[in-house]
A and B are shown apart, each in its own frame.
Chain A
């Protein structure tokens, strides 16, 4: 860990002032940042501990949704009764992630900004355009089992590891920020980026910009949802493929659909076309399979991760079936229905 300055402001204005220089990182739960600093991958010169900022509340919004403060711990959020009842997809995705201990420490803002688990990003002895821009991508034609099948670039094939973000993508949440250029409201779809030729930039946040909250719109798809996560063991592993599926049904006909994928791209993956294709059709396997194919259009394996393409297709179908049948995947009972 390199030497850094440390501040612990109590007000947002103060935090932003502290963050105005370069090389700044906000410290929330620290479960990702501190690991990366120890490994000499993140090298901030200034760490601003935001845990004293007043960002720990969950509040109702005027439009019937919820505003979730950036510092709300993942476990508090998952077990909040309003979230459990109205946005169970979010609760379920959170509980599919990490471990109970990590979820206690991890925060809403930090979760969105956690960095990829690409092996090469984590190993200083290897080139990585995300860690060291211009050095090359060792993952490509290396060990690609966990890598992207969608939206990758020649410069980076990493995936975003967050489960929560996948549910937020399906729920069309918005990220509320404040920073040097004032307050902003960023749709979750525009929050994370594809790697392109700047894989070192994960999101559209500006340097020194602070996430203050995440807003959920009123529609939570509480009747028909499922978060299905497939991984290398039954708990405590990152997704090989995950699916956040949400449906609004009217007489077994799909009135509205959302499908977001995790573990397959540099950001939660959605395609409105795939969702539109379901609308007006009966909630059944044929439609689900057609939607899956559209959603996976353009997918490309790297070799060892080719399996993710059929796996994702089947997982999409299964998650939609679970959603339609109102038998969502349980985060605790590991049997998949």
Chain B
């Protein structure tokens, strides 16, 4: 990928995306756009029942369609390893991963039960409609409400699960508290619905090697998954994913189409593409539905005496998907008594999965509505309530933060929003027919770092390549890598090229959790520092070197040159001149950046935000407009304010969707999500967005990671939905505890 022309380009510069031009001109290719002569197309046929077994499949009519090569089902599929651990991937929840065409069992609605492979996608899809399948149905249980009574604490948990830690005696303190609120809060399931459909193109080479173009948040994860299942050696398969048209967590785990396309390519010894339809996205993972029960007890001045925060989400019968729902409420505010409990209930659905700010989007937003209720019960301004309960430490673990500029977020956001002019009473502001409400909430997310390697290669022409196996699903990773490398090497950005989305590149985890800037950024920085040292040493050791008998601190790296601090006009050498003089065609280094494990446990690492929202509600008609949002964020060092702003903005749009629009509606008699297209699953459109103002407050953090960055991909979601819901209360006096807040709930 070419580095575009950007001049001032180091860390902190608001440069344009380096891949922007490729994307807007259509030159960037996505997984299902890589073509190959004689490519075959697979169409996955989705089960029409929710639970039971397939008694018989008759593929004869499908097979009789000219152009159909094969119909793969559980009956005729090639042998697969029996042990289910072969199917576990980097992000899998504990349990038994779902494998398409595994057996005659149907476990959830829309499960792919056959793959029709044909010469064109159209033939495959048509032929699939001719499959005759006899099902034996069994009763299913999909309704979380009905399953609440059998919810239990997760007996197995996944990496990253934060076990809720209670403290003090919250039930007693709650009973004794002067001010109390007690509510049930609910969030409907949501589906990620990235713009790009899930597609995989498997190009089979004559010697059996595979090049796989996959829509994924981790090319290495896809590679390892396929290697384990099908027994490929290191260089027999390569997974490429240079561009991803959105994912939001849906492409963290290998999806049905990857497995199916590889299965078919091997079986037929041909190149194969499988693309899932939009409707089939509802058979992939989703943000689980959640019931959250919050009781807050406080002193008359609003200081918290008790937090009781319990939640239940659903998981599948296959795997135990857990979210961190209740811990946020346990961390965020100063309080001696907290009773935190999280349970899950198994339902006959696909396993839920991470969706942008998993856990926090649900748990923080619902909890922050409860905090607003407490403000009203105590008669304290909602912002003042948060300040009175401000926690200097992570209250749940009792440890310090590496940094926490949330107080500054409150101040900056309130100032920009004009919060001081707010009248406390609900229904106190009106213009024409519209009631106006102002609400606010706190947002929090994690500032994680994962072990990541980066290779930096300086070429004879003075160009630098930085490469790692991470992904860029849209947050600007290519650009971030170029900026960090520019800063560390002193090379202009247009001479730097970033490479990612390739399983042959050095190790990187999946892109998720907002950890990429910290993880990949640190790896790029480290590799570039090593490269710089090696280059300097190479120059110093040249005969008649201008840097003879200096140390690395005696030089600087500027505009593609090593420059001696003393006598800079005469004592300098271009990078390419150094390589040439040393007879070195290219200088290559690889480094791995790891988080410090001990300090990770000793200190809490989080980003924070304060979100303020204005809504205008036509009370008679229930129609609402979110006319203003101010989000003040503390996210450490901002590598690129322009791209970081886009990330927060995208998160805010997600939050707005959660507050007002997004819900996957299941008909529990059928066990099927019914609004399975973008006409009926509503995400915000441009008309729904008015003024959105994003502020990054200063937050210096030398401890969180070498770059001091915290990540901004998810921080926009937690807090936003609550700020809007709280503004609705302020406008109308109606407390809606059930998201999304649709017209019918406001009438």
Contact = CB atoms under 8 A, between A and B. Distances in A.
Interface in B440-455: none
A233 B687 contact: yes
B660 A233 contact: yes
A235 B686 contact: yes
Interface string B659-687: 01100010101101011110110101111
Interface residues of A, number: 40
B670 A138 contact: yes
Interface stretch (A46-54, A56-64, A216-224, A309-317): A309-317
A310 B687 contact: no
A120 interface: yes
A315 B743 CA distance: 12
B715 to A, nearest CB: 24
Contacts of B621: 230, 311, 314-315, 318, 336
A230 B686 contact: no
A235 to B, nearest CB: 4
Contacts of B616: 335
Contacts of B688: 233-235
Contacts of A124: 48
Contact of A334 (B122, B665, B687): B687
B661 A233 contact: yes
A142 B672 CA distance: 11
Contacts of A125: 48-49, 109, 670, 672
Interface string A298-319: 0000001001001100110010
B126 interface: yes
Contacts of B70: none
Contacts, number: 102
A39 B43 CA distance: 13
Interface in B560-619: 616, 618
Contacts of B687: 233-236, 334
Contacts of B125: 1, 38
Contact of B744 (A40, A143, A233, A307): A307
A192 to B, nearest CB: 20
A122 interface: yes
Interface string A213-241: 00000000000000000101111111010
Given A235-B688, A315-B621, A335-B434, A230 B126 contact: no
B432 interface: yes
A143 B674 CA distance: 8
B126 A123 contact: no
A145 interface: yes
A335 B686 CA distance: 15
A2 B65 CA distance: 11
Given A124-B48, A125-B672, A318-B621, A232 B743 contact: yes
B677 A122 contact: yes
A233 B685 contact: yes
A236 B682 CA distance: 9
Interface string B73-100: 0000000000000000000000000000
A193 B682 CA distance: 29
Contacts of B747: 307, 310-311
Contact of A233 (B109, B434, B620, B684): B684
Give me the 6 closest cross-chain CB pairs, A-B, nearest first. Answer: A235-B687, A125-B48, A307-B744, A119-B674, A234-B687, A236-B685
18 contacts: A38-B125, A39-B279, A40-B129, A119-B676, A125-B48, A125-B109, A126-B672, A142-B674, A146-B680, A230-B623, A232-B661, A234-B688, A235-B687, A236-B685, A237-B679, A238-B679, A310-B747, A335-B434
Given A1-B122, A125-B672, 5 more contacts: A117-B680, A119-B665, A120-B674, A126-B674, A314-B621
